[in-house]
Structure 1
Amino acid sequence: MTRKGDALAVITHRVVNPSNYSMPYARRKSTVLRLFLQLSVVAVILVFSISYSNFREAFTRNTKVPMFVNSQCICDKGIDITHRVSASQVERENTASADLQKHRRYSSEVRHIAFLKVHKCASSTMLNIFYRFGYKRGLNFVLPIQGNYLHMTHQKGLISVVPPPAMSGYDILCNHVTKFSKEQFSRYLPPDSKYIAIVREPFQRMYSAFHYYRNVLHSPILRQVTGLDPFKTYLNNITSLETMWGDHSYTNNKMARDFGFPTQDYKNITKFKMYLETLDKQFHLVMVSEMFLESLVLLRRLLKWSMEDVIFLQINVHEHKHLTTNASSVNIEPFLALDRILYDHCLTRLKEQIISEGPDFHKELQYFKDVNSRVTDLCSTKNTTKKLLPLKANEWHDDFTITLQDCAMLRKPVISFLNFVRDIQTERIQTFGANISYFQ
């Protein structure tokens, strides 16, 4: 029997047979002391073994160790993700990089963003802002594998968007979608994401869309409209044309459709107004194109960004005359009715948000106008002397400098920027593998 067993046996014997214990006192004392020491050692060993077992179990349970498996997928084209793939998504660490942590504003900046890119509402300029922000911080975008439209197919094993690298998740969704769906957006983005969109005065948006899709992209649908003034021809025949085009229309209440309202309910004004109440709960900010600078100041405050992050140059702007509605407005009213309600609602809400910001909002707005104007001058093709625009720290930003390299990024066309960030994300996948948990 082992020493541990001997000790236990002796104690058990003495407890059970106390009358047999007749050793001299000194010997008994020595023996008891020895047994006590032996028991103490045994107790320490038992306590240590149990503690270590509990610690190991807790550590294993609370530490997320990535498991890698070989996984195949059905991809459209362009990305090979048959590398090691994370089978369980680990919570993405959302702290600023070391060189940014010293700036207090970066400690709380919002990096999870959903932007609804509404057609012909200065949304290309917004994409440049989001691409720049995400690129500088190494964030992951929800991007289509091909083209610039997100279809977000949910068939198991079918990947239609670029996966994030293994051990990470998505941060920003800002590309075109067929229509808004909070359910689809939240499938990819974290729960703390801020939801943002943009609208534009409906008639101007209609005319801009008609001009762009007909004369720039040469849409077969709109190319059917001819005459000396095709847009006037369109207005005079809008009922028959829009009825014929149906869901394929680029002009008929298109903003409402982008926000996810079903076309079969276009005549149900009551239902649409109720739908706006839902949108109010889902979107933290709906920008207004006609109040673009004001909208960007609100955006900067909402996302806790530096002013450097919202500086912009106008992107994808096409020159065409500014129109006002005329006698044809009675004819076009049904095809702008929902967009008009949406726009007026968002404009009112935006103005209310500005008022709630307090009087210092307008001080910041004026400063932002001045800074952005100076950046525009620096980045102008006519500028042949200035190479830098240094800006001193103040209550809205830390020290930063705009360079000609920054100008090149500010001017970068949307498709070029999309391809650029997509290539970067693809390289990460090829290096670290892909997280395909979003598609399982």
Structure 2
Amino acid sequence: MWGFPIRHPRHRQPQTNVMFLKTHKTASSTIMNILFRFAEKHNLPLALPAGQAYHLGYPHCFRAHVVEGFQSMGQSYNIMCNHMRFNLPEVQKVMPNTTTYFSILRNPVSLMESSYTYNKDFTPAFRRSKDVNEFLASPWTYYNLSERINNVHARNYMWFDFGYDNNAVDAEDYIQRVIEEIEQTFQLLLLTEYFDESMVLLKETLGWDLDDVVYFKLNSRSQETVQSMSPESKEKVKEWCSLDWKLYQHFNRSFWRRMQETIGLDKLSQEVNLLRRKQKELMELCLLDPEPIDKAKIKDKKLQPFQSGRANILGYNLKEGLSNETLRACLRLITPELQYMSYLYARQFPQKKRKSTSFPLWRR
């Protein structure tokens, strides 16, 4: 179906050609921040959405022309990480042949609950139901195939993001073919539930330093907006989103095989502990509060994250009195994706006029 890129061994030099398929509701905003910071640190051009867009043509299949500057830049981009519906031939027009492809998956049970909360107000199948348990008790009551492009959040969300039909019949030969295609295209599939372990595996795969993958959690939401799912609902997800469930099961197994073959569990434990220690030190250095806080408590309104659906998206306050260098480093870790992307867009394309999304204190 697709012409797959050549699989690359682990790079001795840090890999700077990276394509991240940013799946929805999988902690992908935190990974985007990691990639934005790496791109800025090394002055690498990003394949950013053209004009006023914040995604690469989603929910339509990706086309190269939606990347800012593609006509003149061709394959000279280093990093691509905005939301898209994956379309390999078009991505290959933008990214170099030496690009490492990776993505992240989440257990479809928790993904469904998160998607319901974030997308409740603009997904027809969710709007018609009272809560996630009512929806899952009888999904076909609320889900209409004629509205499929508006209902992508409601069924096999990851399958759709990878470029496939999220309403396809669950047939063993079809699922196996899709999995094989994904394995040939993507060098690495990470897991949301094992995020720190995933960051260790990512830095090993890309030849990066541990400091490159240290992070603060972004786009998380308050606990009171998390809906409780019944045991029946959890089992229903595995049936309703069976394509995603089988995708997740397969790459959960391969993730741990890869981990044992490339790192080993003993070294993994050491690396995870070191990552968490570095993260803790940075949080103590940068943050006024030890945990993400309610949007209403964020002092600098320019640092408020975009709010979606019924979720209360949390953010951070920085400590006062930080030195200029420390302030800039801390800001990079906490700035929401839309503000960071607007800053990088203006930096990369200073001649373009883009709707202002301020980057507070950035140039101090």
Report if TM-score (shorter chain) is over 0.5: yes
**SS in structure 2 of the partner of residue 142 of structure 1:** coil
The match for 1:205 among 111, 124, 129 is: 111
**1:354 matched to which residue of 2?**
259
Measure the CA separation in 2 of the matches of 1:417 and 1:266: 40
Measure the CA separation in 1 of the matches of 2:66 and 2:140: 36
**2:175 matched to which residue of 1?**
272
The match for 2:277 among 367, 370, 373 is: 370
The match for 2:156 among 253, 259, 263 is: 253
Amino acid of the residue matched to residue 142 of structure 1? Answer: A
Structure 2: give runs of 5+ residues left out of the alignment.
1-10, 290-317, 354-364
Kept in 2: contact 1:149–1:175 (CA 8 A): yes
**1:243 matched to which residue of 2?**
144
Measure the CA separation in 2 of the matches of 1:185 and 1:166: 14
Measure the CA separation in 1 of the matches of 2:226 and 2:271: 32
**2:303 matched to which residue of 1?**
none
> Shift of residue 325 of structure 1?
4.7
The match for 2:340 among 401, 412, 417 is: 417
Superposed counterparts of 1:24-43, under 5 Å: none
> Shift of residue 248 of structure 1?
2.6
Measure the CA separation in 1 of the matches of 2:237 and 2:105: 19
Identical amino acids, percent of aligned pairs:
23
Kept in 1: contact 2:102–2:186 (CA 8 A): yes
CA pair 297-329 structure 1, distance change in 2 beyond 3 A: closer
What's the TM-score once normalised by structure 2's chain length? 0.76
Root-mean-square deviation over aligned CA pairs: 2.7
Superposed counterparts of 1:6-405, under 5 Å: 108-145=13-50, 146-151=52-57, 152-153=62-63, 159-163=65-69, 169-177=76-84, 179-214=85-120, 218-219=121-122, 221=124, 224-227=127-130, 230-244=131-145, 245-249=147-151, 250-263=153-166, 265-319=168-222, 320-321=225-226, 323-329=228-234, 331-356=236-261, 357-358=263-264, 359-382=266-289, 384=319, 387=322, 403-405=326-328
Which whole-Å deviations, capped at 9, do the CAs of 1:10-30 have from their partners, x for residues lacking one?
A: xxxxxxxxxxxxxxxxxxxxx
Measure the CA separation in 1 of the matches of 2:74 and 2:156: 41
Kept in 2: contact 1:209–1:251 (CA 8 A): yes
Kept in 2: contact 1:125–1:312 (CA 8 A): yes
Kept in 1: contact 2:63–2:90 (CA 8 A): no
Measure the CA separation in 2 of the matches of 1:415 and 1:429: 17
Amino acid of the residue matched to residue 125 of structure 1? Answer: T
Kept in 2: contact 1:196–1:285 (CA 8 A): yes
Kept in 2: contact 1:166–1:429 (CA 8 A): no
Structure 1: give runs of 5+ residues left out of the alignment.
1-105, 389-400, 431-440
Measure the CA separation in 2 of the matches of 1:284 and 1:378: 35
Amino acid of the residue matched to residue 374 of structure 1? Answer: E
Kept in 2: contact 1:378–1:386 (CA 8 A): no
Amino acid of the residue matched to residue 238 of structure 1? Answer: P
**SS in structure 2 of the partner of residue 195 of structure 1:** strand
**SS in structure 2 of the partner of residue 370 of structure 1:** helix
Measure the CA separation in 1 of the matches of 2:74 and 2:137: 57
> Shift of residue 402 of structure 1?
8.2
Measure the CA separation in 2 of the matches of 1:294 and 1:331: 29
Kept in 2: contact 1:114–1:173 (CA 8 A): yes
Measure the CA separation in 2 of the matches of 1:255 and 1:116: 10
Which whole-Å deviations, capped at 9, do the CAs of 1:255-279 have from their partners, x for residues lacking one?
A: 1111122235333232112210121
Q: Which has the higher contact order (CA 8 A, sep 6+)?
A: 1
More off after superposition, 160-169 vs 246-255: 160-169
> Shift of residue 297 of structure 1?
0.5
Kept in 1: contact 2:129–2:142 (CA 8 A): no
Kept in 1: contact 2:12–2:207 (CA 8 A): no
Amino acid of the residue matched to residue 231 of structure 1? Answer: V
Amino acid of the residue matched to residue 297 of structure 1? Answer: V
Number of aligned residues: 303
**SS in structure 2 of the partner of residue 341 of structure 1:** helix
Kept in 1: contact 2:191–2:252 (CA 8 A): yes
Which whole-Å deviations, capped at 9, do the CAs of 1:202-223 have from their partners, x for residues lacking one?
A: 0100110110112xxx315256
CA pair 360-422 structure 1, distance change in 2 beyond 3 A: same
